[in-house]
Amino acid sequence: MSIRVRAQESNGVVNIRALMSHDMLVPDDDGGPHFIETVEIARNGDTVLTAHWNYTVSRNPFVQTEIDGSAGDTVSVSWTDTEGESDSTEVEVG
Amino acid sequence: MISTKRRVFLKGTLAAGTVGVAVGAGLLAPSKLLASWPSEAFEAEGLEAAMEAVTGSSDIEDGDVTLSAPEIAENGAVVPVSIESSLDDVTEIALFTENNALPLNAHYVLGDGAHANISGRIRMGESSNVIAAVKSGDTWYKAVQEVKVTVGGCGG
C-alpha cells in the first residue's frame, strides 16, 4: 500500500493530488467488495475535506482538489477501507 | 477551530462537539469516523432514491456547477470526472451515475478552507448521465452530462 501526494501552492491556493494504491474490489471480484470508503485530507492537522466513496471509484484512486494554504504547511492524506485497513501519509506544501 | 459546516454534517449521527474537537486535535484516526459513511445513500438503488438519500430531494435545480467528463469514454473502468463551482459556502458535493446499480459514486464534505473543486476517476458499467450536486448554504444545485461508454468497467 502507498499513497503518493503532491501539494503545490500558488497565490494562497494549494493544489493537492493524491494517488492511492488500492484494488477497490467490486462485489463480483474475488474477495470483494473491498474498497476505500473514507479519505480525509487535512492541513496542519485540521480536516479540510472528507471523501466517502463507493466501489464505483476506479482502482488505484486518484483525487485532486484545492484548499487554502501556504508553502510550508503540512498536508496529510489518510484512507480507511471496508476491511478496516488504512494508510496515511503527509507532505510539506511546496 | 471547528466549523459550523462540520457540525451540521455530523449532527445526524454523532455528538458533534465532542467528535469535532477530537478530530480537529488529531485524536481520532479515520477508522473512528466510519460511522459517518452514509451507507443508506451508497446502497440506495436508482438515481431518485440515491439523490433523495443525500440531498433530501430527487428534484434539484440546475445551477452554477461545472461538471467535466468525457463525452465518450473508451474504458468505463477509468472515467475522469471533475466538479467545480463558484457558489458561496459550499459544504457538500456528491457525484451520481444514473445507470449504475448503485448510483452514488462519491460524497464529499468540505471543511473550512476547502474549495469547491474536486476531480477523480469513476467506474461506469454502461453509457449514462453523470450528475454532480453541490450544496451551497441550504440549497443543492446540479449539473448533468451524458457519458457514452464503449467498454463497461464494473465487471472488476
Mapping DSSP onto H, E and C, the string for B98-139 reads: CCCCCCEEEEEEECCCEEEEEEEEECCCCCEEEEEEEEECCE
> Using one digit for the tens of pLDDT, what is the confidence trace for B22-52?
444 444 444 334 347 899 999 999 999 999 9
User: Based on the number of CB atoms within 10 Å of its own CB, is B18 exposed (0-12), middle (13-18) or buried (19 or more)?
Assistant: exposed
CA atoms within 13 A on the CB side of B30: 28
- Judge whether B77 is closer than 8 Å to chain A, CB to CB: yes
Is the CB of residue B113 less than 8 Å away from at least one CB of chain A? yes
Determine contact: B37 vs chain A, CB below 8 A.
yes
Q: Do B24 and A37 touch (CB under 8 A)?
A: no
Contact predicate A58/A80, CB 8 Å: no
A60, three cell numbers:
488505484
Query: Given the DSSP bridges, would you call strands A3-10 and A13-20 parallel, antiparallel or unpaired?
Result: antiparallel
Inter-chain CB pairs, A–B, below 8 Å: 132
For residue B12, pLDDT beyond 70: no
Q: What is the pLDDT of residues B58-114, one digit of tens each?
A: 999 999 999 999 999 999 999 999 999 999 999 999 999 999 999 999 999 999 999
B116 Cα to chain A: minimum distance (Å): 8
Q: Which of B31, B117, B124 sits opposite A86 (nearest CB)?
A: B31
Chain B residue with the nearest C-alpha to that of A49: B110
Identify the CA nearest to A40 among candidates B34, B129, B96, B156: B34
Q: Looking at the complex, does the CB of residue B25 fall below 8 Å from at least one CB of chain A?
A: yes
The verdict on A50 touching B (C-beta cutoff 8 Å) is yes
Cβ proximity of B53 and B41 under 8 Å:
yes
Which residues make beta-bridge pairs with A17?
A6, A64
Which residues does residue B27 pair with via DSSP β-bridges, in sequence order?
none
Whether A79 contacts chain B with CB within 8 A: yes
The average pLDDT across B122-139 equals 96
Q: Give the pLDDT band of residue B6 (cuts 50, 70, 90).
A: very low
CA distance B135 to B109: 10
ipTM over 0.95: yes
Residue B139 has pLDDT above 80, yes or no: yes
H/E element, A40: strand A36-43
Residue A61 has pLDDT above 70, yes or no: yes
Of B77, B111, B112, the CB nearest to A58: B77
